[in-house]
Structures are given as structure tokens and as C-alpha cells.
């Protein structure tokens, strides 16, 4: 696989290899399965031995009969990937601690696993609704008046669809489970058979507010597979778009968090700054989400920075700075954030937290620096890290990132390379590539496999919210209902990216 190193392992050696990796300070990134040919299933585990060293993809051939050992006991974050592989590829894992469907809805059934060979592309899933499966309550709660609240999937306000199931006693939440895959659209399957350049349009639409980082990771995966290097101007403009995306997302995050703490003027200001950033993005590239620019090989067209545009960005930078200072000086707002939704460093690591969430729990990691891509290695990058692990720390990390992203954008605009913006990117038959980007919410990975005709055979999408939703419930158990909305907002999660 291009873009990383490869290592072939036997299924029986997985547990030892994973234990060794973690023991040496490495970490698992994500896992997926694909079918190089009918009847032959191959698992891929993408691992990071250490910062500033290449990722290593483990190739494991699934035994034709029998199961693959589950690694969820060794590296808990893999639990969700294994369940996804079972749902979509029909492979089973021995000794999985939670062997329930994840991506497919409870009660959904298909004649064949949707990503397995021979699955009819148009065959829809059957859904037979089932009652909620709830945990059995033992002492000290058994027999007390525990309330059940299944909230959603259609919730108040303009929100993405998901169901949150609470069991609570008074204000105290005893048990919480998010059901996140009502919106599962089968996006990975939609890539299959497409031309590699057209796949970018799909990548832009996996998670709308992550259009640029998804397109960037996708393009880099295809470029790795095809041995293509985009010209410097394309790389610089890609980084500019990616930083603008981070900015409008973080400004929205601050405004939305004020909504949950009922700081009304703070909410209005945050969302106004977000709007101004989206309008700037549209004036630069024609899309409020930065869509329609990236393509494997570079950019689809050149961008000219409009007159006065950089000055407006500078003015927005000043406004955002003042806004952040005011938020940090508002004690009533901070009181609701401090100690709320505490995420321990160990839990954050084990469960695979990513982006600002892990950096607020003292894990100093950013793909832009640790696995530099697209030219970030040459930029003066600041990575804010906080130790506290609470909602306030998650805010402070983002406040620091807003400042850092404005600085990066300024740096890029000052020294925009001239020249070509696109290099030819000819699909390599049976090419394979890994691409990644640090999006506003954390790490995005794309693994791309091309078929004998150079079309997309398998595209695996790892979105940041898939990781952070896995972590989030651990901060909800034993908390209280009043803090729930604040805690959820402080994670800044997207459901579309998670459900795909």
C-alpha cells in the first residue's frame, strides 16, 4: 500500500503484534476489510508506531473458515471497527466483547453483507423494527424509579438525526447509549466502480462541514496510489482551504456551545463570525463549504484571491480574537464548562479520541505535524494542548487553534507559490493508497483500492466523529442531565461523518 509501509501478518499473530505495538508506544488507527477477489477477504489494520514515522498497514488474510481474533480487548478503539466489518463485510471476530450490530440498524437484514462480492448494488436492506435492548439494572438501582428516555431520532431544533437513550434517576444519568446510524447512507459502497476523479465529489459529501478535509484525505490517497505529486501552488491553496474550514467550524462550535450555556449574545456573535467566514470562503472559491476545488493531482481550477479579501480575513481574525477573550472572561459561562464531561487521558487514548478532544486530554498529537502532508512540514504550526480534559479544555484547545489557523492562512497568503495548479494523475490499475488529513474534528483517513481498470474497487472512510462518538459516552455515565447538552456540544461531533 502506497503512502505507508506494509506488513503481512497471520490472523493468529494479531494479538501479539497489537500488544507489542502498544507496548512500544504506538497506536492503532483504524481497521477495515476488503475483497481483492471473490471469496478472498483481507483485513487491513492501519497502525502508527510513533510520531514522525510512517504508518504501517497490517495485511491479514481472513481464514476461509473460522474467525479472526478480536483485538478489542487489547486496543478497545478497534471494537467499533470490528463490529462495522462484521456488519458490512460479513467477517466475524472471536471473543468480541460487544458482538452486536453497529452500523446496520437493529433489525436490519440483507441477503449478503453489503460490501461483500456478489452483493447486488441495488438490493436494499430489510428493516424489521425491534424493541430497544436495555441493560439489566442491578443494585443499587434495581427496584428504584429509574426513568427511560429514548430521545430522537427526530429531536428538537435543527439537528442531525440520532437517538439518545438515557436511563436516569432524578437528574443522575445511570446509563446512556447513542444510536447513531439512522443516517447510514452506505457511502463507502457508492464509491465502488466510480472513476477516481469523480470519487472526490462523493468524498466532499460524506460530511458536509468536513468537505475539504475529506476531499483532501481522499485526493492524497488516490495520489499515493497513482504516484502523483501535486504542484506547490495546489498544495498551498489546499492548505488554505483546509484552515478556512477549520475556522468556520470552530467559530460555529463556540457559538453553539454558548447556545447550550444560554449565553445569547455569545451565541449570536459566534454564529455571525461563522457566517462571515463561510461568505469569505464562497467569495474565494464559489462554495460556502470549499467544495468543487480539490481533485486528485491538485486543483480543478486556479484560485485568484479577490481584491480586499485578505484584509477582510484579517479583520475577522481581530473579531474572533476579541470574541474568544470575552468568552474566557465570562465566569457564568466558564462555570458550566469547568469540570464538565471530564475525559481521562488513558480513556481518550484507549478509546481512540482524536482532534481537539484528545488534545484537551493531554495527548499531544496532530497529523499536520506528526505525519506531515500537503506541505505542512514547512509551516510554523502551533498545536495547543491542555491537560484538564473537561469541556473548558476542549474550548481552550479550539480557541488556540483559531489563532493558529489565522496565522497559517496569513503565512500561506503571503507566500502563495505561482505556477501550475494541477499535475496529471493517471489511475494505476490495482493501485492502493492511504491518505489522511487533520480536519477540524480530528483525523480523517481514506484507504483507496483501485481495480484492474483503474476504477475504485474499495474506499474506506475513517472520519473523526466515528472515533469521538466512541469515546463520548464514557463522559456521560454518572453525570447529570443538566450538563448533557453542554458536554455533547463541547465534543463538537458530527453524525453524518460517523454514520456515512
Calpha distance 157→477 (Å, rounded): 24
Residue 141 or 183 with smaller CB distance to another protein: 183
User: Which one of residues 117, 150, 186, 375 is an interface residue with another protein (CB under 8 A)?
Assistant: 186
Residue 28 or 209 with smaller CB distance to another protein: 209
Least CB distance from residue 473 to another protein, whole Å?
20
In the window 312-341, what residues touch another protein (CB under 8 A)?
326, 329-330, 332
Closest CA to 293 of 350, 364, 344, 219: 219
Residue 266 or 298 with smaller CB distance to another protein: 266
Residue 66 or 156 with smaller CB distance to another protein: 156
Q: What Å distances lie between residue 221 and 185, 295, 420, CA to CA?
A: 22, 11, 21
Integer-rounded Cα radius of gyration of the chain: 22
User: Which one of residues 27, 59, 92, 183 is an interface residue with another protein (CB under 8 A)?
Assistant: 183
Residue 55 or 181 with smaller CB distance to another protein: 181
Strand ranges across the sheet with 5-9: 5-9, 56-61, 40-48, 27-37
Residue 250 or 386 with smaller CB distance to another protein: 250
Least CB distance from residue 308 to another protein, whole Å?
12
Instruction: Give percent helix, percent strand, percent coil of the chain, each to the nearest 5.
Output: 40, 20, 40
In the window 234-293, what residues touch another protein (CB under 8 A)?
252, 255, 263-266, 268-269, 271-272, 274-276, 278-279, 282-289, 291-292
Helical residues (DSSP H) of 37-111, grouped into ranges: 78-89
∠ Cα 64 22 487 (to 5°): 100
Q: State phi, psi for 11 to the nearest 5 degrees.
A: -55, -35
Evaluate whether 224 touches 433 at the Cβ level (below 8 Å): yes
Residue 16 or 100 with smaller CB distance to another protein: 100
Given the DSSP bridges, would you call strands 40-48 and 56-61 parallel, antiparallel or unpaired?
antiparallel
Calpha distance 203→212 (Å, rounded): 9
Residue count, binding to another protein (CB under 8 A): 76
In the window 159-178, what residues touch another protein (CB under 8 A)?
159-161
Question: Candidates 336-344, 405-413, 427-435, 491-499 — which segment interacts with another protein by CB under 8 A?
Answer: 491-499
User: Which one of residues 11, 22, 194, 428 is an interface residue with another protein (CB under 8 A)?
Assistant: 194
Residue 27 or 283 with smaller CB distance to another protein: 283
Calpha distance 444→137 (Å, rounded): 37
Calpha distance 313→195 (Å, rounded): 36
Calpha distance 451→454 (Å, rounded): 5
Question: Candidates 74-82, 124-132, 356-364, 476-484 — which segment interacts with another protein by CB under 8 A?
Answer: 124-132
User: Which one of residues 12, 149, 198, 416 is an interface residue with another protein (CB under 8 A)?
Assistant: 198
In the window 202-231, what residues touch another protein (CB under 8 A)?
202, 205-209, 211
Q: Is 476 in the site for another protein (CB under 8 A)?
A: no
In the window 35-94, what residues touch another protein (CB under 8 A)?
none
Least CB distance from residue 350 to another protein, whole Å?
28
Least CB distance from residue 240 to another protein, whole Å?
15
Residue 99 or 292 with smaller CB distance to another protein: 292
Q: Is 457 in the site for another protein (CB under 8 A)?
A: no
**Which residues have C-beta within 8 Å of that of residue 55, sequence separation ≥ 6?**
3, 4, 5, 29, 46, 47, 48, 371, 434, 436
Least CB distance from residue 160 to another protein, whole Å?
5
What does the DSSP 8-state code read for residue 276? H
Question: Candidates 67-75, 200-208, 358-366, 408-416 — which segment interacts with another protein by CB under 8 A?
Answer: 200-208
Residue 112: CA count within 13 A, CB half-sphere: 11
Calpha distance 254→277 (Å, rounded): 14
Closest CA to 213 of 7, 398, 464: 464
In the window 415-454, what residues touch another protein (CB under 8 A)?
none
Residue 13 or 321 with smaller CB distance to another protein: 321
User: Which one of residues 177, 396, 468, 494 is an interface residue with another protein (CB under 8 A)?
Assistant: 494
Q: Which residue has the cell 474550514?
A: 245
In the window 96-115, what residues touch another protein (CB under 8 A)?
105, 108, 110, 114
In the window 128-157, what residues touch another protein (CB under 8 A)?
129, 153-157
User: Which one of residues 142, 158, 311, 452 is an interface residue with another protein (CB under 8 A)?
Assistant: 158
**Which residues have C-beta within 8 Å of that of residue 138, sequence separation ≥ 6?**
none
Residue 288 or 342 with smaller CB distance to another protein: 288
Closest CA to 1 of 50, 52, 51, 56: 56
Strand ranges across the sheet with 163-169: 147-151, 163-169, 172-179
Q: Which three cell numbers stand for residue 107?
A: 433489525
Least CB distance from residue 481 to another protein, whole Å?
17
Q: Is 185 in the site for another protein (CB under 8 A)?
A: yes
Amino acid at each position: 500500500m502506497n503512502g505507508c509501509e506494509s506488513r503481512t501478518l497471520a490472523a493468529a499473530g494479531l494479538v501479539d503484534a497489537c500488544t507489542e505495538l502498544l507496548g512500544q508506544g504506538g497506536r492503532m488507527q483504524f481497521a477495515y476489510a476488503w475483497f481483492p477477489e471473490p471469496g478472498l477477504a483481507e483485513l487491513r489494520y492501519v497502525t502508527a508506531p510513533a510520531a514522525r514515522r510512517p504508518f504501517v498497514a497490517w495485511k491479514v488474510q481472513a481464514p476461509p473458515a473460522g474467525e479472526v481474533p478480536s483485538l478489542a480487548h487489547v486496543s478497545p478503539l478497534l471494537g467499533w471497527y470490528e463490529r462495522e466489518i462484521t456488519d458490512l463485510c460479513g467477517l466475524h471476530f472471536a471473543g468480541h466483547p460487544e458482538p452486536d450490530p453497529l452500523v446496520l440498524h437493529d433489525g436490519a437484514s440483507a441477503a449478503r453483507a453489503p460490501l461483500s462480492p456478489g452483493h447486488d448494488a441495488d438490493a436494499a436492506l430489510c428493516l424489521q423494527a425491534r424493541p430497544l435492548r436495555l441493560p439489566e439494572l442491578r443494585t443499587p438501582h434495581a427496584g428504584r424509579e429509574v426513568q427511560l428516555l429514548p430521545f430522537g431520532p427526530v429531536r428538537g431544533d435543527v439537528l442531525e438525526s440520532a437517538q439518545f437513550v438515557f436511563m436516569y434517576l432524578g437528574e443522575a444519568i445511570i446509563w446512556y447509549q447513542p444510536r447513531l446510524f439512522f443516517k447510514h447512507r452506505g457511502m463507502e459502497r457508492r464509491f465502488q466502480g466510480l472513476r477516481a476523479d469523480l470519487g472526490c465529489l462523493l468524498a466532499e459529501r460524506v460530511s458536509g462541514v468536513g468537505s475539504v478535509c475529506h476531499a483532501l484525505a481522499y485526493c492524497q490517497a488516490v495520489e499515493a496510489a497513482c504516484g502523483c505529486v501535486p504542484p506547490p501552488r495546489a498544495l498551498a491553496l489546499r492548505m488554505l482551504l483546509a484552515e478556512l474550514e477549520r475556522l468556520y467550524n470552530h467559530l460555529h462550535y463556540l457559538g453553539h456551545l454558548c447556545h447550550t450555556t444560554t449565553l445569547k449574545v455569545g451565541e449570536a456573535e459566534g454564529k455571525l463570525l461563522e457566517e462571515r467566514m463561510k461568505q469569505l470562503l464562497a467569495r474565494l472559491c464559489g462554495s460556502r463549504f470549499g467544495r468543487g476545488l480539490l481533485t486528485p493531482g491538485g486543483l480543478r481550477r486556479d484560485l485568484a484571491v479577490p481584491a480586499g479579501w485578505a484584509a477582510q480575513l484579517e479583520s475577522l481574525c481581530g473579531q474572533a480574537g476579541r470574541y474568544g477573550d470575552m468568552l474566557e472572561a465570562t465566569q457564568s459561562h466558564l462555570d458550566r464548562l469547568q469540570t464538565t464531561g471530564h475525559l481521562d487521558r488513558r480513556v481518550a487514548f484507549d478509546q481512540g479520541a482524536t482532534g481537539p478532544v484528545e488534545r484537551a486530554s493531554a495527548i499531544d498529537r496532530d497529523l499536520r505535524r506528526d505525519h506531515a502532508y500537503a506541505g505542512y512540514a514547512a509551516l510554523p504550526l502551533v498545536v495547543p494542548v491542555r491537560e484538564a480534559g473537561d469541556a473548558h479544555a476542549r474550548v481552550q484547545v479550539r480557541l488556540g487553534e483559531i489563532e493558529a489557523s489565522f496565522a497559517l492562512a496569513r503565512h500561506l497568503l503571503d507566500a502563495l507559490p505561482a505556477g501550475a495548479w494541477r499535475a496529471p494523475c493517471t489511475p494505476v490499475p490495482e493501485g492502493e493508497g492511504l491518505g489522511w488529513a487533520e480536519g477540524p474534528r480530528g483525523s480523517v483517513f481514506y484507504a483507496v483500492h483501485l481495480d484492474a481498470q483503474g476504477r475504485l474497487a474499495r474506499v474506506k472512510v475513517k472520519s473523526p466523529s466515528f472515533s469521538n462518538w466512541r469515546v463520548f459516552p464514557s463522559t456521560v455515565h454518572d453525570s447529570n442531565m443538566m450538563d448533557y447538552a453542554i458536554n455533547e456540544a463541547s465534543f463538537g461531533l458530527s453524525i453524518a461523518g460517523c454514520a456515512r
